[in-house]
Amino acid sequence: MRPKVTVVVPVYNSSLFLDDCVNSIVNQSFTDFELVLINDGSKDNSLMLCHKWASNYPNIRVYDKKNEGVAATRNLGIKVAEGDYICFIDSDDWVGQDYLECLYNAICEENAELVVSGINKLYNKYTKKYKILKDRNNLYENRKGLLTAILSGTDGGSPCAKLYKTSILREKQILFPSLSNNEDVLFNIEYLFNIERVSFVYKWMYYYRYNPQSLSHNAIFNWPITLSKIISLKKALLNQFTTEYGMFKDAYLQGVAMNIFTGIIIATAPQRGDDWSSRRKEILIYLSEIKQTPIRKNIVLKYFFEELRLHYKLCYIFFLLPKNCRALFAHLIFVCRKWINK
C-alpha cells in the first residue's frame, strides 16, 4: 500500500547529527509515511548508520550513490518517492513530533498544492524564528506573496518546512537544477509557477541547525559562473510564464541585485579561488543594472537588518543608498575584499 508522504533526507558526512534527525522522523505522530535516506558518497560512517536505521524500520529505504551534491540527491528522492506528497529534511536538522501530521492535515483540508510551516534557526546557543512566516496578517500568506518573497530574496527559498505534491513534480518535470548555489530557490520558483493554492501552518516545527562545517557552507564553486547561470535560469522561468512576468519583474530584479551583491561579498573570501578577472566585464554589467532595481524598503530592509550574517548587514546598507550610489558601493566592497585577501 502506497504511503501518503515520502520524507527525503540527503545524507553527506552526517554521522554527528543523523541519529537526531532520523529519530525525530520515526517518532512522528503521523505514521503513514516512508523515509528515504540517500547517501551522497559520504566518507564517514553515515551509510552504516542509514542501514542500521533501515534494519529496524520497514518504512525506511536506503540508497547509496557517488557524491554529486544535494540537488542530484534530492532529485533521486523525487524519482523513487512512492508517497502522494513529498518533503525534504536535511540530515543536520530535526523536526517536532507532530510535524508531518500538521503539514499533511493542512494540505488535505485546504486542498492545497503546497504547504509551508515555520523554521527555527539554531546558531549555537541562539534560536531565531525564521523570517517571513511570523503571523496571520503577514504579507506573504498566499501564493503570489510567497513567490514575490522567493524571487526577491527576502525568503531564502529552502525546500525544508514544505510539503509538495509528488504528481505535480513529476508531471511538470520539476527538478533541482545542477548548481552549487540557489538550486532550491529555482526549484521553488518553478513549482510555484505551476500551482495555484498554498497553505500556511503557523507553527515552528522544523529545526535548522546552522553547521559551518556542512557541505553547503564549505562548497567551493566559481561564483561568477554560477551567478550567470542563476540569473539566466530565473529569467528563463519568468519568460515561460509571460502572463505573470510583469507582476513579478520588480521582485526578480531585486533578487538579481541581492545575488550580485552577496555574491561579491561571499566569493571574495580568502578560502575561495574564484576567477573574477575573466568575468570582469560581465560583473560590471550586472553592477550597472543594480542602479535600476526598485526596492520595497518597508519589507526588505527590515529582513536584511534582522539577519545575523555580515553580508546581509552590508546588503541592508546597500539597499538604503540612492540608486546611483549602489553600484559604486558594491564595487568598493569588491575591491576592498580583494585587497584584504591578497
Which range of 124-133, 262-271, 290-299 scores highest in mean pLDDT? It is 262-271
Is CATH 2.70.150.10 what the domain over 5-216 is classified as, yes or no? no
Helices and strands of the chain, counted as H and E runs:
14, 9
From-to residues of CATH 3.90.550.10 in the chain = 5-216
Whether 263 contacts 337, CB under 8 Å: no
Rounded CA gap, 307 and 130, in Å? 10
Residue 315, CB half-sphere, CA atoms under 13 Å: how many?
30
- Residue type present at position 250: D
Indicate the range of 28-32, 167-171, 284-288, 330-334 predicted with least confidence: 284-288
Indicate the range of 6-15, 121-130, 142-151, 175-184 predicted with least confidence: 121-130
Instruction: Quote the pLDDT of residue 318.
Output: 66
Rounded CA gap, 161 and 88, in Å? 8
Average pLDDT over residues 286-296: 53
The answer, yes or no, to whether residue 311 has pLDDT greater than 80, is no
Instruction: Quote the pLDDT of residue 245.
Output: 65
**Which run of H or E residues covers position 182?**
none
Instruction: Quote the pLDDT of residue 96.
Output: 96
Average pLDDT score, the chain: 79
Instruction: Quote the pLDDT of residue 284.
Output: 58
Query: Does 167 or 342 have the greater pLDDT score?
Result: 167
Reported as a single tens digit per residue, the pLDDT across 34-57 is 999 999 999 999 999 999 999 999
- Going by C-alpha positions, the residue among 259, 241, 226 that lies closest to residue 157 is 259
What interhelical angle do 242-267 and 323-340 show, nearest 10?
30
Instruction: Quote the pLDDT of residue 302.
Output: 44
- Going by C-alpha positions, the residue among 9, 13, 130 that lies closest to residue 73 is 9
Indicate the range of 97-101, 204-208, 256-260 predicted with least confidence: 256-260
Indicate the range of 91-105, 124-138, 242-256, 308-322 predicted with least confidence: 124-138
